[in-house]
Chains A and B, each alone.
Chain A
């Protein structure tokens, strides 16, 4: 994409689903949103096993991983996924966010969000979250990387 990022430098982002989730309209939409903000996207598509995601992160370390899942199993599958990334000895601690519909109850349960953050996610955007918070997160990350070269503030 020929766009310039709104803030900071262009990020290499990975958009992915969790192992059990087949939905892809959410992935395609997020890909376009991120690209239109001026960043690069590799979209891994539906039903991504944790091992495939780990292998992709080892081959091309991303600046940001965006996990999107709506089938209602996301809270559980997300915990597995983040452990696989965070426990891996050769993977740096790049930011990982998760969003969509993480349970089958249609609500953004704060306890669920807490568990996911504690397990190592840097952002949780559950049911009904609007994209402006996410855009804010991405802008902040891009400018931080441009000024300090570090993922963390």
Chain B
């Protein structure tokens, strides 16, 4: 393989226009041979696929010495150490696989992504995901201001590749904050804000994420609001929406896990998303195998093929809520990075149950009888909970109950 990889965004959008949903795993292995086998199997799956290299936790947290030790000692890593393997090795992993019809994205979760970005560029890759907020607050204890600087530099570094004929792509992880229990209005706002941040730092091709939550109707409304805000705020750039199958406590039964994944695929189709990131039947237990990933890709593709878009979702005020949150940030500073830092310091953005030191921790959420995710408290955000909110104290059982809602629902529906 030589020269830069073709554009991730363009390939996905082309496939979507041709009538397909692109499905993608969350796959990463420490061993390059296994990683290559996984990418090849993804490509060969009976589905329109994009490939993934998920990076391990040592590399994510900048502990490259630990990543190197793990490779030498044979410790099983939870991802591919892209800043430790020689770029020539990573090129070999990709040779003959990465191409016009098979884009590959690097997924990590680092607030200090420089080494990862250099590693992927050296290997010929130009697509990754993250964001100054979404790869900071849920991913450790790095200062938000520091993450903003790092992500501005990362976006600019990627944008430079356009000079070399590539179309670099960045996806926001803002629509997946904490995986669960973050109400959709805030997910949408963060996804849009991070997309705007990438564009201001030079990217021309971005995607906006949204993770399936606990009520399908609410999620469909969320996707339509996300697209509407993206149209308003991301004019002139190439963008698409990516749905994640549920990012919280996953069903333990095989049929429960597959039914939840199929529901995510139907949501992606109904919500006009171009791409879906899948989860496997191993999710509740351990890192999935290659075979489990392929099976998940094919399950999702089958569900998407027969999904029908359905009627437009009812409007419940989500658009207004998300817009208020976005505006509440933008008015704080002309520089969006500084505005985001101020917004968290002032509590204008406040992610429920996030323990990061820069999060205000005055907000709370709950699931209503229909499984809709709602605000119990909004702290100093420029929005108010419907009906004034509730002030039930958080208990271990109450928290676990909310976290396990979908697990319970899908495991109970599963045949014994």
Binding site for B on A (CB under 8 A): 19-22, 24-25, 27-29, 32-33, 36, 43, 45-48, 71-73, 76, 101, 103-107, 127
Docked CA distance A72–B28 (Å): 13
* Whole-angstrom CA separation of A45 from B139 in the bound complex: 10
- Complex contact B141–A46 (CB within 8 A): yes
Q: Mark B48-80, 1 if CB is under 8 A from A, else 0.
A: 000000001110110100100010000111100
Instruction: Find chain B residues with CB under 8 A from A127 CB.
Output: 285-286
Asked if B141 and A45 sit within 8 Å, CB to CB, the answer is: yes
CB of B109 closer than 8 Å to a CB of A: yes
List of B residues within 8 angstroms of A105 by Cβ: 76, 286-287
The answer to whether A103 touches B76 (Cβ under 8 A) is yes
B76 near A22 with CB under 8 A, answer no
Quick one: given A43-B355, A104-B76, A106-B285, are A22 and B138 in contact (CB under 8 Å)? yes
Instruction: Name the A residues within 8 Å of B286 (CB-CB).
Output: 72, 101, 103-107, 127
Q: In the complex where A25-B403, A72-B76 touch, is A20 in contact with B353 (Cβ < 8 A)? A: no
Q: Can you list 6 A-B pairs, Cβ within 8 angstroms, ordered by A? A: A24-B178, A25-B179, A25-B353, A27-B355, A72-B76, A106-B286
Partner-contacting stretch, out of B118-126, B293-301, B305-313, B394-402:
B394-402
If A19-B63, A73-B57, A76-B70 touch, does A32 touch B76 (CB 8 Å cutoff)?
A: no
Contact flag A71-B396 (CB < 8 Å), given A47-B141, A104-B287: no
**Residues of B contacting A107 in the complex (Cβ-Cβ under 8 angstroms):** 286
B394 adjacent to A32 (CB under 8 Å)? yes
Chain B residues, CB < 8 A from A20:
57-58, 60-61, 63, 66
A127 to B356, CA, bound (A): 25
Q: A22-B109, A104-B286 are in contact. Are A36 and B395 (CB under 8 A)?
A: yes
Contact A22 B63 (CB under 8 A): no
CA distance A48 to B141 in the complex (A): 8
B355 touches A24 (CB 8 A): yes
CB distance from A80 to the nearest CB of B (A): 9
B139–A22 touching, CB < 8 Å: yes
Closest to A24 in B: B355
Q: Smallest distance from the beta carbon of A47 to chain B beta carbons, Å? A: 4
Whether B140 sits at the interface, judged by CB under 8 Å, is: yes
Are A46 and B139 CB-contacts (below 8 A) given A21-B57, A22-B57, A73-B57? yes
Partner of B399, one of A29, A73, A76, A103: A29
| B357 proximal to A (CB < 8 A) | yes
Interface residues of B in 125-165 (CB under 8 A from A): 138-141
List 15 other contacts, CB 8 Å, given A25-B353, A106-B282: A20-B61, A22-B57, A22-B138, A29-B399, A29-B400, A32-B394, A43-B355, A46-B141, A73-B78, A76-B66, A76-B70, A101-B286, A103-B76, A106-B285, A127-B285
The answer to the question of B92 belonging to the interface, with a C-beta cut-off of 8 Å to chain A, is: no
Closest to B138 in A: A22
Any A CB within 8 A of the CB of B354: yes
Judging by beta carbons under 8 Å apart, are B399 and A71 in contact?
Answer: no
| Contact status A76-B78, CB under 8 Å | no
Question: Is the Cβ of B61 less than 8 Å from the Cβ of A47?
Answer: yes
Query: Which of A20, A27, A45, A103: most chain B CB closer than 10 A?
Result: A20
Q: Contacts A76-B75, A103-B76 given; indicate if A32 touches B396 (C-beta within 8 A).
A: yes
**Central interface residue in B66, B178, B357, by most chain A CB within 10 Å:** B66
Q: Contact check, B403 vs A72: say whether CB atoms are below 8 A apart.
A: no
Closest residue of chain A to B353 (Cβ to Cβ) is: A28
Give the docked Cα–Cα distance between A76 and B403 (Å): 28
Bound form: Cα–Cα A76–B56 in Å: 14
Give the complex CA separation of A29 and B403 in angstroms: 10
How far apart sit A105 and B179, CA to CA, in the bound complex (Å)? Answer: 22
Which residues of chain B are within 8 angstroms of A43 by Cβ–Cβ distance? 355
Residue of B nearest to A22 (CB): B139
B400: chain A residues at CB < 8 Å are 29
The closest CB in chain A to the CB of B29 belongs to: A104
Q: CB-nearest residue of chain A relative to B396?
A: A32
Contact B396 A29 (CB under 8 A): yes
Q: When chains A and B are docked, how far (Å) is the Cα of A69 from the Cα of B394?
A: 22
- Knowing A105-B76, A105-B286, say if A22 contacts B140 (CB, 8 Å): yes
CA distance A34 to B69 in the complex (A): 35
Shortest CB-to-CB span from A127 to chain B, Å, is 7
Q: CA of A105 to CA of B282 in the docked complex: distance in angstroms?
A: 10
**CB contact between A46 and one of B56, B76, B356, B394 (< 8 Å): that residue:** B356
CB nearest to A27 among chain B residues: B355
Cα A27 to Cα B109 with chains together (Å): 19
* A21, A28, A127 pick with most chain B CB within 10 angstroms: A28
B140 partner, pick from A36, A47, A104, beta carbons under 8 A? A47
Q: A22-B140, A104-B78 are in contact. Are A45 and B355 (CB under 8 A)?
A: yes
B169-185 Cβ-contact flags toward A at 8 Å (1 or 0): 00000000011100000
Asked whether, in the complex, the Cβ of A72 is within 8 Å of the Cβ of B395, the reply is no
Q: Which 6 A-B pairs have the closest CB atoms?
A: A106-B286, A47-B140, A32-B396, A106-B285, A20-B57, A72-B78
A36 to B70, CA, bound (A): 38
